[in-house]
Chain A
Amino acid sequence: MSKNKELISKIGLRLDGRRADELRRIRCKMGVFAQPDGSAYIEQGLTKVLAAVYGPHQVKNRQKAQHDTCIINTQFSMAVFSTNERKKRPRGDRKSTEMSLHLQQALAAVIETDLYPWSQIDVYVEVLHADGGIYPACVNAATLAIIDAGIPIKEYVCACTATLANNEIPMLDISHQEEVLGGATLTVAALPMSGKIVLMEMSQRFHLDHLPKVLNKALEGCKDIKVILDEAVKNHVAEMGSSTGWANSRT
């Protein structure tokens, strides 16, 4: 665990100059594309993800249609140039299938699926640049895209990663460099308003004593992200609204 010690310097700064509980800069935009029903772009540090939502629409494969709920269909894909080493295929490998599934599970927790029986919602995410925390960025982007599409959700679903630095300090929003150097990474997808955890995944062995600390940190991160996303949504809606002139109408 000697490597771990270098993750935070004596004066409490991380490799990229952040403090332990700081997120990377998040920049996002909704409504990037015209053709999908909803789309969003998010940058968390250098990690960049595009998400597009189509639907709700008729179920493509009729046999899969459900009479009481809608199907959430997700596809995770990584651009071949998104990593340092060029990838051979953008999708179809085990990791991306797993990612699609996890994304689907996180979204199923918040979307009001019972409002759309016999229908299907497609959520596609495309990673343009991978620099750690791919899954959280995908979840956050997908949340924004779903809001952009106007699909009712129970609340935001946000995701964040956390780890333990120097065996004592919990650390938030891990970059790729820290992932490589550090130990176990905890990925949490949560509903920050109700404080419920939707999905939790651990990359390595981890002492149970440390779990509460790290988990709390990750949940705090989710809450911080929610604030940022919320603001982005409000700005977007205000922008869209003002362009249609709703703020000025007095009727």
Chain B
Amino acid sequence: MAEEFKSLHPLKYYRDYYSHDIRPDGREFTDFRPVIVNVDSIKTANGSAVVKIGRTTVICGVKAELCKPKPDLPRQGFLLPNLELPALCSSKFKSGPPSHEAQALTQLIADIIENSKCINLEDLCILTDKLAWVLYADLICLDYDGSLVDACMIALISCLKSVKLPEIDYDPALDIKQVNIENMRPLKVHFTPVATTFAVFDDKIILADPVIEEENLCTGVLTIVVSGDELCCVHKPGGSPLSEEELMDCIEKSKKRAKSIKKLIDKAVREENK
């Protein structure tokens, strides 16, 4: 019966639960779903990570290639995050060129990476104006069940922390490159920005880490990105207005979560490196 009721009157179904201060999956309003991080599972990539938040699954893989730096930024390499929302992750997407949602989220992730300065692009330069690394970080959503940005950020950061680049001997006069793959060095990741998504239901209830149905039914979504003690980015695309108090409360929760997530990521990366 419950299934039928849920699909016929989804809003009422959720409201009934919320009036008893509990969510349909048994969590309280401010509870987060369990997070699983698995690092370096894809051997063909230079670094990779699979992240599950509840049922939301995101895989990230980094492929490193060599290129010439841009003439206006000769000392910098490239880091190009790209989020794919393929048709296989949810019935709402179609195959073909990236949807608006994918484009918007890609831009958001790229902005977060740039603002948080977690990667120093100058680390990626091998020889000024001649040779630099370009890291293609492809994020692919495998199961879309809400709080996508959170999962993407964890996946991207753990993936970057697992990236190892070979040493390069470059002779600019003769244009000879020699790659020494026995000497792999890890990439320096300076900060760990962590995103936390909240959903506002019926303008008053604030739900942490919403699942996809909650995201679809709610009146507003809010994503807060925290790096250490610093606030990196607050992304609130319209929806229900929030009071300052509520906002500060969310930020506090995000800070707490960021700490535990950072520990989780570091642990996963450390275990892999053992």
Question: Per the CB under 8 Å rule, do A and B touch in the complex?
Answer: no
Residues of A within 8 A of B (CB): none
